[in-house]
Amino acid sequence: MKLLFTFIICSFSIASFAQKRGQVIVIKDPQIDSLIQRRILLNKAAAPAAIHKDGPAFSSTGYRVQIFYGSDRREVFNEQSRFKSAYPKINTYITYKEPNYYLHVGDFRTRLEAQRLMNELRPLFATLFIFKEKINAPNLEPVK
């Protein structure tokens, strides 16, 4: 009988403790709220990327075509000017990784665009490769 009575008392006491609701107290620096509000305002005020005439609006991952590489600096600049005379609107980029200079052209978002240029350049340049790298956003012409 004592055992049954003890069991009933224990089960009621466990149930009574489970029914209590706790209160959570958050302790934080008051500057956190001000930083969150500032971030919300900045996100609302942020406009989409603007078109800059003097440079790209943003950069992303894309594709470029390598049209030349070699150790002679003058030869790389000659190839760059030869390309620029044929395609003045396409950007060129020269990088130096010891011992060679590399001439990459274009800022293509897709591999297909880079492949089209590569097919056009095949008669003019001997060694052509497509590389995936960080590109500058192409300048967009406003609709007139």
pLDDT of residue 141: 60
pLDDT of residue 15: 55
- Quote the pTM value: 0.56
Q: Comparing 102 with 28, which gets the higher pLDDT? A: 102
**Which DSSP string corresponds to 122-144?**
TTT-S--EEEEEEEEPPPPPPP-
CA distance 139 to 57: 8
Q: What is the pLDDT of residues 110-136, one digit of tens each?
A: 899 999 999 998 888 888 999 888 888
Please identify which residue in the block is written with the tokens 């069991």.
Answer: 7
Average pLDDT over residues 8-35: 73
Residue 57 has pLDDT above 60, yes or no: no
What's the CATH code, domain 59-136?
3.30.70.1070
- Break the chain into its structural domains and give their ranges: 59-136
Count, residues in the chain: 144
- Is 12 strand, coil or helix? helix
- Is 110 strand, coil or helix? coil
Q: Comparing 83 with 20, which gets the higher pLDDT? A: 83
Q: What is the pLDDT of residues 59-80, one digit of tens each?
A: 688 899 999 999 988 999 999 9
